[in-house]
Amino acid sequence: MMTTEYPVYHEIRDENEEIAKAEAAIDTLAMQRDDRWYPKFHIASDGGWINDPNGLCRYKGRYHVYYQLHPYGTQWGPMHWGHVSSTDMVSWRREPVTMAPSLEEEGQGVFSGSAIVDDEGKLRFYYTGERYNNGVDRTDGQWQVQMAAIAEDDDATKLKKLGMVIDCPREKVSEHFRDPKVWKQDGVWTMIHGVSDVKGNGQLWLYTSEDMVNWTFQYVLFEDPDPDVFMLECPDFFPLKDKDGNTKWVIVFSAMGAKPKGYMNRNTSNAAYMIGTWTPGEPFKPETELRLLDCGANYYAPQSFETDGRRIMYGWMRPFNESAPMQHDGWCGQMTLPRECFLGEDGDLHTVPVPEVDNLRINTFEHTVKAVENNEEKLVLEDAEAVEIELNINLKDTTAERAGLKVHATPDGSYTYVAYDAQAGTVVVDRQAAARGNRGYRAAVLTADELAADELQLRVFVDRGSVEVYVNDGLHVLSDYSYPSEGERAVKLCSESGVLAVDSLTVHDIKSIGLE
């Protein structure tokens, strides 16, 4: 039995009352919700704003996705934790709001964190408490500390807060100090979280603990060498085997401050990874440069968990600083599909939808199309609400400069273009013809091997308000919001300035995950 006392616990609001108020606010928003872009097969809140996935785990036979939630509007605000759960990652059940800011140390929000099963089989949570220095607003800075909680029931719907476990050494930190990720390393409870140090460097600090309550700072696991980066949000750190069976470590963080360069860092903040090695007790040693986890315009704050020897990751489809039309519909924000992480033959990180996602397929249709001629468009689907499209492009016979799929193509002429750009050697999600939301495009840069291959493989998931594109078994992914106009939502194949040669085209209707 762990008997350690928790050091700090100051209730300033009644947790149950706060949760009841939050539930009522969500219900009000959900009642007025417009579903034109509300996801059929992505996790979202019934109403209100959501961001980062939190507390991902599988516990007592159920998968749990918690998330950052502002129940009182469709913009970011005082953070709560929302919750959905599932036995199969395919059909989901909505659970009550799990945490509201009720302690002094988290008076302005229960921020992001993770979950871990302790030695007694109990599910524990570590998250960040957010407080304003002046108690009123952020103008005098924030005071962020790490907090703990424990699940009281097998369904992990009711949490007991345990209070603060790590205070912020404020003389060493320039206010950003958050997002704990906990795991057990060689029998030792280990935590990392993001820090902006006094000089404004983005760092990951590592702690260890024997009792999961008293945590001792050990050392800086990683400091971002980019001088523009001032904070690493939502860190993650996990081992994967490479093709020769060697253990590599993947470090993941969402960096604030990096400047765009070419195709890199086009978003306000960018979630990226490096692959390398790690000996506990030492800093992480990168063996690759920094690479984006997802090249789309709307991806951020991923978190992973491990189950059955699989490493599964969810990310938040973040609307960044653009106008997000869904905010007028009573909700804002969705998760990506669950993605399994592995190192490919190429040595790089791949993220693909977990095989369970195939169970969402209903009605599969194989098209016989073999080519799309120069400047031609071919209708694939007249009206697609929720579909997965598998398109294998024959690279040897394709002469087009650019070719691919127009999705969410509506009668007013707007669409989102998922294309192979032969000139640039990229796969793009181009929203220049969007009637609503941000325009512009994002690109995944193909490697020399991919460009020299016979085939380019695309898996395109089209939901009511988003597009997720997996390239070549998840070596690249692009996730974007896409807001179709009124009327039928067609899918078309098209080819510009040359021929698009198609090896195969398969379309699956996708069923609901049960959260609408």
Catalytic residues: 52
Nearer to ligand FRU, 19 or 90 (CB): 19
Query: Minimum distance from CB of 179 to ligand FRU (Å)?
Result: 5
Query: Minimum distance from CB of 163 to ligand FRU (Å)?
Result: 18
Contacts (Cβ under 8 Å, ≥6 apart) of 486: 410, 411, 412
The C-alpha atoms of residue 86 and residue 69 are separated, in whole angstroms, by 19
Q: What is the DSSP string of 381-421?
A: ES--SSEEEEEEEETTT---SEEEEEEEE-TTS--EEEEEE
Q: Of 18, 46, 52, 224, which lies in the binding site for ligand FRU, with binding defined by CB under 6 A?
A: 52
The C-alpha atoms of residue 405 and residue 416 are separated, in whole angstroms, by 8
- Whether 145 contacts 167, CB under 8 Å: yes
Q: Does 49 bind ligand FRU (CB under 6 A)?
A: no
Nearer to ligand FRU, 252 or 301 (CB): 301
Q: Of 106, 224, 233, 450, which lies in the binding site for ligand FRU, with binding defined by CB under 6 A?
A: 233
Q: Does 203 bind ligand FRU (CB under 6 A)?
A: no
Query: Minimum distance from CB of 72 to ligand FRU (Å)?
Result: 14
Q: Of 29, 50, 79, 387, which lies in the binding site for ligand FRU, with binding defined by CB under 6 A?
A: 79
Query: Minimum distance from CB of 498 to ligand FRU (Å)?
Result: 42
Q: How far is CA 268 from CA 232, 256, 466, 481, in A?
A: 13, 8, 19, 16
Contacts (Cβ under 8 Å, ≥6 apart) of 154: 59, 60
Dihedral angle over CA of 235, 137, 331, 313, nearest 10: 0
Q: Of 108, 112, 196, 298, which lies in the binding site for ligand FRU, with binding defined by CB under 6 A?
A: 112
Q: Does 85 bind ligand FRU (CB under 6 A)?
A: no
Q: Which residues ranging from 114 to 133 are in contact with ligand FRU (CB under 6 A)?
A: 128
* Site track 165-184 with ligand FRU (rule: CB under 6 A), x = hit: -------------xx-----
Query: Minimum distance from CB of 296 to ligand FRU (Å)?
Result: 16
CA 481 vs. chain centroid, Å, equals: 13
Contacts (Cβ under 8 Å, ≥6 apart) of 85: 62, 63, 64, 65, 92, 93, 95, 155, 156, 157
Nearer to ligand FRU, 168 or 301 (CB): 301
Query: Minimum distance from CB of 252 to ligand FRU (Å)?
Result: 13
Q: Does 236 bind ligand FRU (CB under 6 A)?
A: no
User: What backbone torsions phi and psi does residue 341 show, to the nearest 5 degrees?
Assistant: -100, 135
Q: What is the CA radius of gyration of the chain?
A: 23
* Residue linked to tokens 């606010």: 25
* Site track 379-418 with ligand FRU (rule: CB under 6 A), x = hit: ----------------------------------------
Neighbours of 67 (CB within 10 A): 29
Q: Does 111 bind ligand FRU (CB under 6 A)?
A: yes
- Produce one character per residue of 211-230: b if its CB has 16 or more CB atoms within 10 Å, e if not: ebbebeebebbbbbebeebb
Is the four-CA dihedral 273, 303, 80, 82 of positive or negative sign?
A: positive
Nearer to ligand FRU, 49 or 415 (CB): 49
The C-alpha atoms of residue 203 and residue 220 are separated, in whole angstroms, by 7
Half-sphere CA count of 308, side-chain side, radius 13 A: 8
Please report the beta strands in 199-265, taking only residues with DSSP state E, as ranges in sequence order: 202-209, 215-223, 231-241, 247-256
Q: Does 267 bind ligand FRU (CB under 6 A)?
A: no
Q: Does 336 bind ligand FRU (CB under 6 A)?
A: no
Nearer to ligand FRU, 112 or 265 (CB): 112
The C-alpha atoms of residue 288 and residue 234 are separated, in whole angstroms, by 20
Nearer to ligand FRU, 25 or 384 (CB): 25
The footprint of ligand FRU on this chain (CB under 6 A) covers a number of residues equal to 13
Query: Minimum distance from CB of 425 to ligand FRU (Å)?
Result: 32
Nearer to ligand FRU, 178 or 431 (CB): 178
Q: Does 51 bind ligand FRU (CB under 6 A)?
A: yes
Query: Minimum distance from CB of 301 to ligand FRU (Å)?
Result: 4
The C-alpha atoms of residue 234 and residue 194 are separated, in whole angstroms, by 7
Nearer to ligand FRU, 72 or 470 (CB): 72
- Produce one character per residue of 402-411: b if its CB has 16 or more CB atoms within 10 Å, e if not: bbbbbbbbbe
Nearer to ligand FRU, 51 or 201 (CB): 51
Q: Of 69, 116, 147, 234, which lies in the binding site for ligand FRU, with binding defined by CB under 6 A?
A: 234
Q: Does 68 bind ligand FRU (CB under 6 A)?
A: yes
Q: Which residues ranging from 276 to 335 are in contact with ligand FRU (CB under 6 A)?
A: 300-301
Query: Minimum distance from CB of 409 to ligand FRU (Å)?
Result: 32
Q: Does 66 bind ligand FRU (CB under 6 A)?
A: no
- What residues line the site for ligand FRU (CB under 6 A)? 51-52, 68, 79, 111-112, 128, 178-179, 233-234, 300-301
